[in-house]
Structure 1
């Protein structure tokens, strides 16, 4: 049995690792599109480069998630994929031709994307049975993202966008060193069986939940992929652009704290519907406002959009998925909201942006969020009716 002191120390190291890893995300999300633009690529080429990461993630999340569950280790897999990231960044520094850049970005994200789901799995298993919540650890990721996004913007405004990869390499090297401090976790004493996994995948509730997660994530990823380019088009400097992801990330923290304390009092699907309606408003305001500062202030709505979405979806996932499939289930969730959604959003978004404008792109994202919010309400009504019917059936049997 782990002592309370040992648990506290382990949670402290996970917070540090989360802070460091999300510092890297604070460079990748806002500045990769600007880095590609600085290399002279068009909106369609940037869309392709932005979509290749999620495409790689769709394969690698499942691959590394299954390896982690099969060999009952999260820590060793984390060390391996972060080391792979570092190697790919060194190659990316010297990539000049588009196809070489494409290949380097593909393999970088092959190693990068699984870190999110593996870290979530490690966190969920580490806090299980303790007084620490997932949200109280995840806020350190938000802090890391916020600080990194702002400072990187200021640094890049002075040294030039070309130094993006160098800064990212330093940050990811720190994350790699921090993996040595983490305590490994096993999902369950039960061995993972593929037959049980396939049975889970066939469940209608599981399928519909993931369809709605995909749709709301496509809407969300529009901001990740194209907001910085849209702000630059409206005349914002790198310094100013850095405030946007910082405000977004900091706004998550109060929501994570609130949900860690009171979230269990509310049903998950209605909460996800509220997040959907908040996305409708956020994207609509982004599209209709003209001044970059106003649009940046709107990003504080990230608190009630992504803040509610992430914690609530992961909470619902822990109800849907048994422990022996934890890393695989978490990987599937990441495949959908980071991989599939990121790829569709990048390709479709790049096409819409190129064909019309950033304004039309964000209005489209708003419409998609509305469809999703209604979908969560319908799914909630359906599950409530099912539980009532099951209750009647059990009562009649007795």
Structure 2
């Protein structure tokens, strides 16, 4: 029992530090590129989208490597150290093409972090019992605390600090990965057979469309939400407060998502989360006052706090046991990679051609398509609701 408590504390610490690093960098990176480097909207959109685009290829490859070697902890630790170091290369350069290369390099190794962490945690919860959401909520806590703290520090010391907090947090996190559960229980994956199983799994393919439409805007919002706050009159500290409220609201929903899943089912939870997310983006498109943005950030708790735990459990439920890490990585690459890259790139062009409010109108429309695909999944696969 004591050992189990010790492991859970380390899992929570890992999630806290992972998302603390993300919260300190990504919400303010677009602000840094615009206000410090002086890039245009299209250039910012391209740089912000190149990372998710790289993850389309990186995440499945890391998942395959993890399944094949059965050494996810070691892979996780090494990629965290490298990711943190590569992010520091943003600082000495202001040439657009060089920054594209830096973004791609960071994403190549960052692509392993969340999918492998999720797979280790889900496998542990499956064996030992418990609720994934109660562990994953520490990521939301880390993100919300970081974006407020780093936003405030950026107002005082300058935006360059976002890269140092990102690197140090990941390096510290790499230390704690050594105490994560070992993953020797799964059979050795047969790569060709495993990939073939995923490609032929119609439920899996259809659900990937859902993650593209819903996750793309959710993750792209992390890059543009800071610009939204500033364009309605907020400061960098205001950006931090907004993210604190938004990410902090995820915690109670992640804490109780397991109970709600048991009560009404995975796909219904996913549908509710997608509808709330769509309404949120449309609301931001009508140019609301800052106070209304702060008040409605609770919608993030309902959307992300419910969608992420439910979606990842659904993916593991419908995929074969010996390729679950690969399946989670492919799922992450479609939503966090392909969807985010597409949304981020298109948002950059919309920002340059129109304004930030057009960006959120686009997000709302795309998420509505996600709502439709979820309904199709529910009707097509009734036993999996």
In 1, Cα distance between equivalents of 2:351 and 2:42: 9
**Aligned 8 A contact 2:53 2:338 in 1:** yes
Aligned partner of 1:347 among 335, 342, 345: 345
Aligned partner of 1:94 among 77, 92, 95: 92
**Aligned 8 A contact 2:204 2:315 in 1:** no
Aligned partner of 1:376 among 370, 374, 377: 374
Q: Deviations over 1:321-350 (max 9, x none)?
A: 122112111111110111001110111111
Match of 2:252 in 1: 254
Larger radius of gyration: 1
**Aligned 8 A contact 2:85 2:167 in 1:** no
Aligned partner of 1:56 among 50, 54, 57: 54
**Aligned 8 A contact 1:187 1:325 in 2:** no
SS of the residue 2:313 aligns to: helix
SS of the residue 2:237 aligns to: helix
Which residues of structure 1 form unaligned runs of 5+? 388-398
Aligned residues: 383
Aligned partner of 1:224 among 215, 222, 226: 222
In 2, Cα distance between equivalents of 1:102 and 1:326: 32
**Aligned 8 A contact 1:35 1:164 in 2:** no
Aligned partner of 2:27 among 20, 27, 30: 30
In 1, Cα distance between equivalents of 2:103 and 2:62: 18
Match of 1:391 in 2: none
The yes-or-no answer on 1:18 pairing with 2:15 is yes
Alignment of 1:111-130 (within 5 A): 111-130=109-128
Q: What displacement does 1:162 show?
A: 2.3
- Going from structure 1 to structure 2, the CA distance change for 1:285 and 1:90 (only over 3 Å counts) comes to closer
In 2, Cα distance between equivalents of 1:280 and 1:200: 29
- Going from structure 1 to structure 2, the CA distance change for 1:89 and 1:218 (only over 3 Å counts) comes to closer
Q: What displacement does 1:190 show?
A: 4.9
In 2, Cα distance between equivalents of 1:28 and 1:187: 35
SS of the residue 1:325 aligns to: helix
In 2, Cα distance between equivalents of 1:54 and 1:363: 21
In 2, Cα distance between equivalents of 1:187 and 1:167: 35
Q: Deviations over 1:36-94 (max 9, x none)?
A: 11211111111011011101111111111111000111101101211211331233332
In 2, Cα distance between equivalents of 1:59 and 1:369: 23
Which residues of structure 2 form unaligned runs of 5+? none
In 2, Cα distance between equivalents of 1:220 and 1:157: 26
**Aligned 8 A contact 1:81 1:111 in 2:** yes
The yes-or-no answer on 1:9 pairing with 2:37 is no
In 1, Cα distance between equivalents of 2:322 and 2:193: 12
Q: What displacement does 1:253 show?
A: 0.9
RMSD: 1.7
Q: Deviations over 1:184-237 (max 9, x none)?
A: 213613543422431232222221111111111223234222111122122210
Aligned partner of 1:244 among 242, 253, 257: 242
Q: Deviations over 1:162-201 (max 9, x none)?
A: 2221222222221122222323213613543422431232
Alignment of 1:257-296 (within 5 A): 257-296=255-294
Q: Deviations over 1:89-139 (max 9, x none)?
A: 233332232222221121011111220101100110111132321111101
**Aligned 8 A contact 1:187 1:326 in 2:** no
**Aligned 8 A contact 1:280 1:366 in 2:** yes
SS of the residue 2:127 aligns to: coil
SS of the residue 2:324 aligns to: helix
**Aligned 8 A contact 1:61 1:332 in 2:** yes
**Aligned 8 A contact 1:51 1:347 in 2:** yes
Q: Deviations over 1:256-308 (max 9, x none)?
A: 11112332222222222211211121112111243223213222101111111
Aligned partner of 1:325 among 303, 323, 326: 323
In 1, Cα distance between equivalents of 2:8 and 2:141: 16
In 1, Cα distance between equivalents of 2:316 and 2:90: 37
For structure 1, which segment, 189-198 or 355-364, has the greater mean C-alpha deviation from structure 2 after superposition? 189-198
In 2, Cα distance between equivalents of 1:274 and 1:187: 35
- Going from structure 1 to structure 2, the CA distance change for 1:221 and 1:311 (only over 3 Å counts) comes to same
SS of the residue 2:147 aligns to: helix
